[in-house]
A and B are shown apart, each in its own frame.
Chain A
Amino acid sequence: KAGVTQTPRYLIKTRGQQVTLSCSPISGHRSVSWYQQTPGQGLQFLFEYFSETQRNKGNFPGRFSGRQFSNSRSEMNVSTLELGDSALYLCASSLTVANTGELFFGEGSRLTVL
């Protein structure tokens, strides 16, 4: 069974640009969550989608947005990039809603903002 796939793995952007990251969950998983990992901050929750609906959103500015498609694939978008947005963005899928079972993580998309 294929795992969670995230693309692109690495990308470099400049301040003010926008970026879109993609996540394909494990087949059959309906929940997709996004986390931001920065040094010393652990994993910070961005949002969760379940059956195309955003069920929960973390404490991030409106520049961070996402969506989920009918095939459960998800994208997240960051507009007007800032230097502090440099991080590893992790996508996780789960069979049911995201706080009741194990999360399966992708390898992440490492974003560098110059």
Chain B
Amino acid sequence: DQQVKQNSPSLSVQEGRISILNCDYTNSMFDYFLWYKKYPAEGPTFLISISSIKDKNEDGRFTVFLNKSAKHLSLHIVPSQPGDSAVYFCAASGILLASQFYFGTGTSLTVIP
């Protein structure tokens, strides 16, 4: 049962444009969300997080939006750079749930120079 879903396996964007990666979840008890970036042959690295008390969090070129009513979050990268080409995973957890993160299946982003 996939509680966190990333329905787009891949995304291609021109350099300088906005990349929007989407993530949907089913468990209303999730209250903390993370985005990770993963290059081949490396472990995932943390990008940005958001808690359910917020609907937006920004860090430089990265912004995460949370729509609790729709159980949807998105990661915006502006402007996109070739070095952003990687697989992006969203993950969710809940303070009242078991001590683990639930990960999506990932979206492979390609930024075209």
Contact = CB atoms under 8 A, between A and B. Distances in A.
Contacts, number: 73
A66 interface: no
B89 A58 contact: no
Interface string B89-113: 1010111011111111110000000
A72 interface: no
Nearest to B42: A107
Given A106-B43, A107-B42, A33 B103 contact: no
Contact of B44 (A44, A55, A90): A90
Interface residues of B, number: 29
Interface of A is mostly: strand
Interface residues of A, number: 29
A99 B105 contact: no
Interface of B: 2, 4, 6, 9, 32, 34, 36, 41-46, 49, 89, 91, 93-95, 97-106
Given A56-B98, A99-B94, 14 more contacts: A31-B99, A33-B101, A40-B105, A45-B102, A45-B103, A56-B100, A90-B44, A92-B43, A99-B98, A100-B32, A100-B93, A102-B34, A102-B46, A105-B43
